[in-house]
Amino acid sequence: MFFLKLALGNLKKSYQTYAPFILSSVTLFVLLNTINLIWLSPEVQARRTTPVLLQFAFWVIAIFSAIIVTYSHRFLIKQRFKEFGLYNVLGMNRKRIATIASIELALVGFGVILSGIVLATVLAKFLYLILVNLLQMEGFDLVIQPSGYHLSILLFVTLFSGLIALTGWQIGQLSSLDMLSTSRKGEKEPKGNVILGLLGIILIVTAYVFAVKEPVNFNEAYLKLIFLAVLAVIFGTYLFFVSFTTWFLKKQKQNKAYFYKRQHFIPVSQMLYRMKQNAFGLGNITILATMVMVTLIATSTIYFMVSASVDQQYPKDKNTVIRQIFITDKEKAAQGIEALLTKLEPQPDSWSSILHYDEYPSLTNTEVLDLATAEDYRAVNRVQLIIITAEEYKRLEGIELDLDEHTVGYYHQTFSKDLKTKTIAIGTETVYAVKPITAATSIRQNLYMEPRPYALIVVKDMERLAEFAMHYAISKGYAPASNAEQNFPLSYSTTVQLTSDQYQQLQNLTYQDKDYSYILNNREESIQDNLSFTGTFIFIGFIIGMSFLLGACLIMYFKQISEGYEDKKAYKVLQEIGMSPKMVKKTISSQVWIIFFLPLIVSVSHVSFALFLIGRIIREMGILDNQILLQMTGITMASFIFLYFIIYRLTSRAYYKIIER
């Protein structure tokens, strides 16, 4: 009971010291538990992709919470050691001191979990409404599952148990003198290593060059290289701050004209002697700031591109595409579609059909284009390649092409103004001369189009279309020559405007049809599928981004406040020997500017080059719009810099007040 009363008294007396630790712990527990409650709710579990993404977010925040809470505890215990040392001097042994410290942490942990449960329950309801709105769901209420609390509580109990054990071990290792001096123990001047500093810059520049350079193939190997580039930036950033900044500060110290000025002497000296500790903190802030901006830019860009991508996929006046596959007879396919749509009774003349073959290769703007060797769907710069007959082209565009058996019309959306291709081949046996096409816009209104560039090849007639398609499919291994008839690659696509009831009826009719195989695409269904992914994606991106932002803020706050307590005595001596309060404030401002804005500058640089990778990844999803990406980047960066500046003002003010006292 005595230890409990003493621990409660200590918490009450040291609330200013405990407040940041408690606040960060509660906030992270609330975020973690909120994600868990939403993740395990029956409504969310019934969806396809949302639970997987929420589970990923939960474990990301769980790992991040362990890191930040441990970091916050390090700051807390450093301030508490002086009091523990005093207890030891007054006769209390280290075992009892460890008991008091353990009770304090246990009480804090209990309070964090209890208050976090209440706040998480309320916040989960609020955030669930946001998620429902993003997914455009109706009539869904969040059902709180008791199991939604278990994992979060278990993780935080484990985390606080580990902190209690760590604190007890630290107290057992230190003498009373060590505990009394720990809070004001300085850092030795680190050695600035030019080689390591240059290595850090080389790693960062190499990653930047990799990001800018367009890859040949966007495949699994390239994704692994992206991961290595991210690691290079992380390690390069730490080496830059640990070695290069120390070397730079030493160069400033050697420059007597610069160093021996009042506004430079103290900040340079202080930062140089504490750079070992500062460097990792600055690196942490930089990496977290980069993660915040990259996460928010990527998720917001993907979300706002959904509607744009759906608009590209469907004709403006049609919402459904019916695709019959393995077509060998166009007339029979047309009769089958007409019989199907007659049962649905859509508006008269509200549908149009086209016979075609399409693939998704990467096409280069070269004089000879060999489709047999063109990279497949894993390649960069993929296009939707559509092959149709001259008759279909004339019906769509109103232009008659004069083609023969060995000539094809060719259009490439990206290279249309500077088309270099003179010959199109499929291996060595099938070769066609190219007649450039300048008009190919109507094709988008008659097919389901991927939101990516497209290319069009026009052949003489149905016979040439079948021949071209079979040669292409066989060369790529899509249609084995030994079984060509059963894998005939032509498709007959029909676009039509249907109501939701008519589309439901269409699904039933195509399922019952034994004569043809169908692929159905519907605008409203596509929007819902996309929202299910992107809505959850931006929701998780926001939560994770806010967690990273909280971590960056806490590290900045703890760093400045901790250093404020360490610098207080030094500035007091300087004021006693004649330094004015105005000069103190100017000196502090100089130091804080470096600590705050150097990480911001480096993180903005990281994000600027990361945009190349973000754009490339989103492009492979088929929904890239550079204008939206740049808009989201501008908004995110401006918002982050504004928040960062507010944190700078608040923290520098708190630092100055500590020095003033």
Question: Are residues 330 and 360 in contact, defined by beta-carbon separation less than 8 angstroms?
Answer: no
Decide if pLDDT at 297 tops 50: yes
How much is the pLDDT for 484?
A: 46
Q: Which amino acid is at 386?
A: I
pLDDT in tens, 209-236: 999 998 866 767 787 888 889 889 988 9
How much is the pLDDT for 645?
A: 85
Of 442-451, 532-541, 591-600, give the lowest mean pLDDT range. Answer: 532-541
Question: pLDDT tier at 407 (50, 70, 90 boundaries)?
Answer: very high
How much is the pLDDT for 212?
A: 92
Question: pLDDT tier at 161 (50, 70, 90 boundaries)?
Answer: very high
pLDDT in tens, 609-631: 999 998 888 777 666 577 888 99
More confident position, 197 or 49: 197
Q: Inter-axis angle of helices 50-89 and 15-39, to 10 degrees?
A: 160
pLDDT in tens, 470-484: 888 877 776 554 444
330-369 per-residue burial string, b: 16 or more CB within 10 A, e: under 16: beebbebbeebbeebebeeeebbbbbbbbbbbbbeeeeeb
Residues whose CB falls within 8 Å of the CB of residue 550, separated by 6 or more in sequence, listed in order: 24, 27, 28, 68
Assigned token pair, 122: 């309320």
How much is the pLDDT for 628?
A: 86
Percentage of the chain exceeding pLDDT 70? 82
CA angle, corner 58, sides to 54 and 60, nearest 5?
115
pLDDT in tens, 581-594: 677 666 666 666 77
Tell me the mean pLDDT in the region 61-90. Answer: 77
Residues whose CB falls within 8 Å of the CB of residue 547, separated by 6 or more in sequence, listed in order: 28, 31, 60, 61, 64, 65
How much is the pLDDT for 578?
A: 67
The DSSP call for residue 515 is S
How much is the pLDDT for 275?
A: 66
- Name the nearest CA neighbour of 440 among 419, 461, 462, 463: 419
Tell me the mean pLDDT in the region 295-321. Answer: 78
Provide the edge-to-edge strand list for the sheet that holds 517-522: 368-370, 423-426, 430-436, 407-412, 454-459, 384-389, 351-359, 491-496, 320-325, 517-522
496 - beta bridge partners? 320, 351
Tell me the mean pLDDT in the region 391-415. Answer: 89
- Beta carbons within 10 angstroms of residue 150's beta carbon: 12
Question: Are residues 67 and 157 in contact, defined by beta-carbon separation less than 8 angstroms?
Answer: no
How much is the pLDDT for 198?
A: 86
Highest mean pLDDT among 173-187, 250-264, 558-572: 250-264
Distance CA 223, CA 220 (A): 5
Residues whose CB falls within 8 Å of the CB of residue 339, separated by 6 or more in sequence, listed in order: none
More confident position, 492 or 593: 492
* One-character DSSP codes across 334-403: HHHHHHHHHHH---TT-EEEEEEEEE--B----SEEETTTSB-TTBTTB-EEEEEEHHHHHHHHS-----
How much is the pLDDT for 458?
A: 93
Question: pLDDT tier at 389 (50, 70, 90 boundaries)?
Answer: very high
Question: pLDDT tier at 202 (50, 70, 90 boundaries)?
Answer: very high
What is the overall mean pLDDT for the chain? 79
Question: Are residues 102 and 77 in contact, defined by beta-carbon separation less than 8 angstroms?
Answer: no
How much is the pLDDT for 250?
A: 78
CA count, 13 A, side-chain hemisphere, 485: 0
- Name the nearest CA neighbour of 562 among 360, 351, 274, 364: 274
How much is the pLDDT for 487?
A: 53
Decide if pLDDT at 633 tops 90: yes
Residues whose CB falls within 8 Å of the CB of residue 503, separated by 6 or more in sequence, listed in order: 320, 520, 522, 524, 525
Tell me the mean pLDDT in the region 538-566. Answer: 73
More confident position, 595 or 599: 599
pLDDT in tens, 13-41: 777 677 778 887 888 888 888 888 887 77
Tell me the mean pLDDT in the region 136-162. Answer: 81
Q: Coil, helix or strand for 190?
A: coil
How much is the pLDDT for 635?
A: 93
Question: pLDDT tier at 7 (50, 70, 90 boundaries)?
Answer: confident
pLDDT in tens, 509-537: 887 877 778 888 888 888 777 777 677 77
